[in-house]
Structure 1
Amino acid sequence: MRKPEPRLQRKLLAWLLGPLAVLLVLDTAAAYWNAQRFSNLAYDRALLEIAREIVLHVRIEGGRPRLNLSEAAGNVLLLDQEDLLFYRVVADDGAVLGGDVGMPQPPQMPRSAKPQFYADAVREHPVRMMLAWMPVNTGTAAPLVRVQVAETLRKRSRFAWEMVANVVLPQLLLIVMATAVVWFGISRGLAPLQRLRHAVSDRSHLDLSPIDTHDVPGEVRPLVDEVNQLMSRLGRTFDFQNRFVADAAHQLKTPVSGLKAQIELALRENDVERVRHSLAQLYISADRLSRLVRQLLSLARNEPGALDAMQLQPLDLNAYALEVSMDWVPEAIKRHIDLGFEGGEHALMIDADRDRLRELINNLIDNAIRYSQSGGRVTVRTGGSGADQCRLSISDDGPAIPVQERERIFERFHRLLGTQEDGSGLGLAIVSEIATLHRARITLEEDTDGVGNTFSVFFPLRAG
């Protein structure tokens, strides 16, 4: 069986009206106890008066008490329209002077004690019993007789319940009215939540605009604010994805078309040498396509929204930059480039993601080697830059980038006009986004010798 879903309205009603219901039950019990007590007090006096009337019919004859209560007088004295009355009179020596023989034996009671009232049963009828020792007449040496008078409980119960009803019914009516008022108040109070629910359920799945917080209760506003922030993050993520898909479609269209053209050309050729030439061109095009795909995936992985997926750990920038630079020595030799490294005197500890930092250095070195002329020089340097940051710079002997282009060089797919090297225009964009993820700052300036460019990335030093 499915458990009913929790509802705020139901919980509020339970917490507001539940205590009232408990109080009503407790008040009803207290009212019934008081009503029983007052009912007994009232009717116990009547039993005591009946006992005194019966004793008035006891006479001393021959030195012994006798009960002279005629049947007519007894009927008048014990007549009651609702309850049954029973009595018994016993002399001091235990002789029964008169009354109902079915009366139960009373408990031991001192002769000087006050009248006692207790619950008992006569002929299986629950009764209220009165027991007392009373003098036969007003004389100083008057003998005592023990009198028992019992009465069933109909009048007492009716009187008690009437008192309870007079107390509880107005309270019950108030609780019913309070329930209606509370129900109405809660429904009105939760109306903004209903409007909020409709505002969310009625919108399109493509609409990630913030939820209007007008008339939203203060208790719910933090939740709505968090939802708006989540929707904002989702919007940025979807924007990143849409931009990536659009960029990928745009960038892959040209190389894929080139591959198809090369394949069609190879299929039409019968000359083995021409076919081999076409296959070589296919290999070059596939290599370019593979590099483009890697850069697109890297660009998607290093979007600003990827910060939560980073694994930051302490890292010595000196040692790590040297390690990555060594991997590029074969490529530099192949292109006749003098690749050098100039490290700092001390360890430069930063918090970095090793894979992403390697990607940043790789792209900068690749960019420097690719655009430097044969016989040129590329230098990787690390060092301190102030008390709270360090610097990684890569200098090349490539064409100087004009000042007006230095801001746009980090944009996606932006390439300088007149360059002969193949490229997608993504390498520096990837570098820029990885630097942003590391809270680093990247700059571009002319090389110190006046030839080429110097890309510098300033990392915050690790605290402590």
Structure 2
Amino acid sequence: MHKPEPRLQRKLLVLLLVPLLALLALDAAAAWWTSVRLANLAYDRSLHEIAREIVLHVRVEDGRPRLDLSQGAADVLLRDPQDRLSFRLAAEDGTVLGGDPDIVPALLAPGAPPRYFGDQLHDEPVRFVEAWMPASERAASPRVLIQVAETLNKRNTLAWEMLLSIVAPQLLLILIATFIVWFGVKRGLAPLARLRRAVSDRSHLDLSPLATDNVPGEVRPLVDEVNDLMSRLGRTFEFQNRFVADAAHQLKTPVSGLKAQIELALRESDPERLRHAIAQLYVSADRLSRLVRQLLSLARNEPGALDAVQLQPLDLDAFALQVGMDWVPQAIRRGIDLGFEGVRRPMMIAAEPDRLRELINNLIDNAIRYSERDGRVTVRVSETDADHVQLAISDDGPAIPVVERARVFERFHRLLGTPEDGSGLGLAIASEIATLHKARITLEEDSDGVGNTFSVIFPKA
């Protein structure tokens, strides 16, 4: 079964109107209680007067009271166009002097004040008055107990009239308030409706910020967050598009070369030349594999392409030594003297180990690749000041001209006349990783005037 979706407008109306209706119900209950009480106060006086009039027809003979009430007089006293009246009159000794025998004898103590209460008589709700009254005006006159019961028709009619006079204006006010609240909520939520239309009418390619004109303060944070999300999505799409364009541009040439070499190998019948063609294919495939790895690494390290890099405390001195040791076999094969100069104490920085390893690998690979045979590459860790640590990698390769030093960190940029194969991505990847670590990468001439020195300056952890 489909669950109805929550609606803010409906929820606001319920939260605002339900308390009003609850207050109206409580007020109506209080008004009904007050109306019944006032109606009883008004008609109880009349009921007491009827009781007193009945007692006036009592005669005292030989010290004993006797009711002298003709049927005509009783009809006059007990006549009421809306209600039915009944009475019971008794002497102090309990002798019934007249009235309705179905009325239960009262338990009112002699001398107690009159009592008013509700009860049942002939299966109808009635209002009773009970009172002790003197049978005559003489001082030693005996007392009689008079009980008069009256049905509740005119009392209820009066109570309802008072209730309606109180509740009807309030109900009208509630209806007016309901309309005002509904209109106010609808008007107040209009910016959300405009925001919904602004988003739904957009193309999936339109990531421009939403307009914030006439946006209420309560909705403004939501619009700002949506605009921030669109900005981040725009950067992500830009990174993806740039990666796709770079990959398509860079992979086109090596793939075409592989196809050409495969076609040549397929035409060869001489085993020796076929073996040579396959060896060339292996070299080309290895270059293509390295290019793909670098493209993926470049995409992974785009600033803003990921939510956050999980940095952790890391000893740069020990870590750089460990990474440098992995390059010793490669340096020996090329006849390169790979050395390390550290500070022999922890140099703590905030880093992500895998990315930092990739940065150092790219810089060492670049230094070994472009150094002359029997050259020298040095990995150096030092403390520049109280707040920064420097990782420097020096080589004996061709000095990069000053005008080219700023461009070597650009993607796919390679110096003209460079004999080594490369994609021009290694230094770009190193630069992106340095940015993710809030570090600064620079290129300068080596201190001995031969080769280049790449320096990465990290803030201390």
Q: TM-score, normalised by structure 2?
A: 0.98
Contact 2:85–2:148 under 8 Å retained in 1: yes
1:440 Cα deviation after fit: 0.6
Could you tell me which residue of structure 1 aligns to residue 18 of structure 2? 18
1:100 aligns with 2:138: no
Q: Is the contact made by 2:60 and 2:136 (CA closer than 8 Å) also made in structure 1? A: no
Contact 2:370 2:398 in 1 (8 A): yes
Aligned residue type for 1:54:
I
**Which range moves more in the overlay, 188-197 or 333-342?**
333-342
Tell me how far 1:307 sits from its aligned partner. Answer: 5.3
The answer (yes or no) to whether the contact 2:236–2:305 under 8 Å persists in 1 is no
2:132 maps to amino acid? W
Q: Distance in 2 between matches of 1:123 and 1:133?
A: 24
Q: Judge conservation of contact 1:378–1:395 (CA < 8 Å) in 2.
A: yes
**1:95: Cα distance to partner?**
1.1
- Provide Cα deviations, 1:234-256, integer angstroms capped at 9, x if missing partner: 11111111111111111111100
* 2:314/2:348 contact within 8 Å kept: yes
* Residue-pair matches, total: 461
Deviation by residue 1:54-82 (Cα, 9 ceiling, x = unmatched):
11111112332111111111111111111
Question: One-letter code of the match for 1:322?
Answer: L
Once the two structures are superposed, the pairs formed by residues 212-251 of structure 1 within 5 Å of their partners are: 212-251=211-250
Identity of aligned residues (%): 71
Where does residue 258 of structure 1 map in the other structure? 257
Shift of 1:110: 2.2
Residue type matched to 1:66 in 2?
R
Alignment-mate amino acid for residue 13 of structure 2: L
Aligned-pair distance for 1:194?
Answer: 0.4
Partner of 2:75: 75
**For the residues of structure 1 that align with 2:2 and 2:152, how far apart are their CA atoms?**
50
Which residue in the other structure is 1:152 paired with? 151
Root-mean-square deviation (CA, aligned residues, Å) is 1.2
User: Structure 1 residue 10: deviation in Å?
Assistant: 1.5
Question: Relative to structure 2, which stretch is displaced further, 299-308 or 436-445?
Answer: 299-308
Amino acid paired to 2:452 = N
Unaligned runs of 5+ in 1: none
Which residue type is aligned with residue 23 of structure 2? Answer: L
Quote the residue 2:361 is aligned against. Answer: 362
By how many angstroms is 1:393 displaced? 0.6
User: Residues of 2 paired with 1:265 and 1:174: CA distance?
Assistant: 94
SS at match of 2:269: coil
The 5 Å alignment of 1:234-313 reads 234-306=233-305, 308=307, 310-313=309-312
Q: Is the 2:314–2:350 contact (alpha carbons within 8 Å) kept by the matching residues of 1?
A: yes
**Superposed counterparts of 1:58-137, under 5 Å:** 58-106=58-106, 108-137=107-136
Contact 1:363 1:428 in 2 (8 A): yes
Q: Deviations over 1:81-125 (max 9, x none)?
A: 11110011111221111111111222x222211111111111111
Aligned 8 A contact 2:127 2:152 in 1: yes
Q: Distance in 2 between matches of 1:354 and 1:93?
A: 111
Rounded to whole Å, the distance in 2 between the matches of 1:59 and 1:2 is 83
In the TM superposition, what whole-angstrom CA distance separates every residue of 1:369-425 from its partner, at most 9, and x where no partner exists? Answer: 111111211111111101101111111111111111111110111111111110000
Task: Work out whether residues 307 and 437 of structure 1, in 8 Å CA contact, stay in contact via their aligned partners in 2.
Answer: no
Higher mean C-alpha displacement, 2-11 vs 127-136: 2-11
Alpha-carbon distance in 1 for matches of 2:305, 2:377: 31
Aligned to 2:416: 417
How far the C-alpha of 1:304 sits from its partner, in A, is 1.0
2:113 corresponds to which letter in structure 1? K
Q: CA deviation at 1:331?
A: 1.1
Contact 1:104-1:122 at 8 Å conserved across structures: no
Structure 2, unaligned stretches of length 5 or more? none
Q: Alpha-carbon deviation of 1:188?
A: 0.8
3-state secondary structure, aligned to 1:304: coil
CA contact (8 A) 1:51 1:147 kept: yes
